[in-house]
Chains A and B, each alone.
Chain A
Amino acid sequence: MWIEVLIALIKASAIVGMIVGLAGMLGWVERKGSALIQDRIGANRASIFGFAGAGLINTMMADPLKFFTKEDIVPARVDRLLHTLAPCVAMFPVLATFAVIPFGDVLQVGERSINLQVAPLNIGILYVLAMAGLAVYGVVLAGWASNDRLSLLGGIRGSAQMISYEVGMGLSIVAMVMTYGTLDLQAMVRAQGHLIGGWLPAWGVLYQPLAFLIFLCAGIAESKRVPFDLPEGESELVSGYFTEYSGIKYLMFFMTDFIEIAVIAGLITTMFFGGWQVPYLMRDGFHFPGGAAVLLPQVIVAVLQIGSFMVKVFFFCWFQIMIRWTLPRLRYDTLMRLGWKGLLPAALLNILATAVIALAVQG
């Protein structure tokens, strides 16, 4: 029993370490990416003896150090308990969502096969929706506890936006659940290893393109990124619901933003783009449709799968960051209209169409 606890601990710490590191790196990707788009150089001043390490010095050391050493200013009129609680409550659900995202198939160590997923729940998708629901509390508490008009406005806007887009997200997930017939994320990824017509990998985006678009849109809105970043509207509300935060608490909100990008990227990868599946790679090696096969040891297969998962997650993180500097911000009423009058009916029609097609194919 203690071996299993140890393995679970190793998996959990590996995932958390990787994600927090990824979040840090995304900060630098954002700066350099925005600089490239805006035809300027971007942050290039942080270096140790002239060695800038392609931004690693900046993100891994300079940025966090800056936040850690800043004074933690707490205004006098805030509700102390809630003000301190809000960043923790904001960060907990987004990190916890990674418990159900599978990052590999199985790893054979001796005679023990380790499922490369921290928590193999059979209600995996519902857990993701539960964590998405809990993520609203961080925004609500931060806006309320700051006892300040602009923060309250940012908090109300943020939470209203999040619960509106949660509905669209949930319904697009329902369509995926109908397609795969399971709520378990690992089973969904394994089902995407089949080949349609003998050569096309059965990735989710081929079965449910509309659900993919709806989920992408709703996911970016959930993480309150541009074009949906009115709650933290930098040109209107100073910093929205985290105006009154500084130092480590601000770093936690900042990190939550980037970790949520990684979460959405992870979920899109898992449900729509085959997760850790490399096309034609089975548990014992490559099996190409022509009949050719390249057999590989199990460890190499596992490493390839984890690598493929990371590449896909990176791609979607980069994609979300690029969208930020491409699209203008949505006005609040346009945003709500898109969520309720655009995504919700589209998701419902998608479910209806999926049901009709599924029945037609079966019967």
Chain B
Amino acid sequence: MNPLLFGILALLMIASALGVVLLHSPVRSALSLVMTLFLLAVTFLFLDAYLVAALQVVVYAGAIMVLFLFVIMLLNLQADPQGMAKVGVRFAAVLLASLFLLAAVRFFVAPAALGSGTGMGGTPPAGFGSVEAVAERLFTHSLFAFEVTSVLLLVAIIGAVVLAKRKLV
């Protein structure tokens, strides 16, 4: 991928991620997150992960975020002036987070630490990232995880319905 294109995408992504955290109105936070997810889907397309990009839009941006917006609308949440912690907490959080970021970049991301080198590995084999390739891995190597995940989803559905049900007096 073109470095200039990556730079633009990265800047937009960081801006919308900051929007999620810093905006006072929950609806605008949610919309900022939708934009971040969309930009991530575009990045996935450039990384040859076609099925994952489509799933990102269908599942994350199209279903999970709609659920978030639904709940925000249902609870009628307006812009919240007490939405942030006290100034001291904010300062400490940002300081710790920056320290963590610097440590992560220095120790885990530095070229010396990456055993596989910094290149992107050249052109992938044909059909990489397509539905067939993911399906082939999913139903052979990760079959057990796949089946367990379906049970997990069933449990989550039942749990959500039970929790959100209005108790009949």
Contacts and interface: CB of A to CB of B under 8 A. Distances in A.
A121 B70 CA distance: 31
A144 B51 CA distance: 32
Interface of B: 27-28, 31, 34, 50-51, 54-55, 57-58, 61-63, 66, 69-70, 73-74, 130-131
Contact of B27 (A82, A130, A136, A152): A82
B70 A126 contact: no
Given A122-B130, A133-B58, A140-B66, A152 B51 contact: no
Interface string A65-84: 00000000000000101100
Given A136-B62, A140-B66, A159-B66, A130 B54 contact: yes
Interface of A: 79, 81-82, 121-123, 126-127, 129-130, 132-134, 136-137, 140-141, 143-144, 152, 155-156, 159-160, 163, 183
Nearest to B67: A163
A137 B130 contact: no
Nearest to B54: A126
Contacts of B63: 133, 163
Contact of A123 (B51, B61, B70): B51
B71 to A, nearest CB: 11
B62 A133 contact: yes
Main secondary structure of the interface of A (DSSP, over half): helix
B51 to A, nearest CB: 6
Contact of B131 (A127, A155, A183): A183
9 interchain residue pairs of minimum CB distance: A133-B62, A126-B54, A130-B57, A130-B58, A123-B54, A136-B66, A140-B69, A129-B58, A144-B73
Contacts of A121: 50
Contacts of B74: 156
B99 to A, nearest CB: 35
B70 A134 contact: no
B62 A134 contact: yes
A293 B168 CA distance: 72
B61 A134 contact: yes
Given A123-B50, A123-B54, A155 B66 contact: no
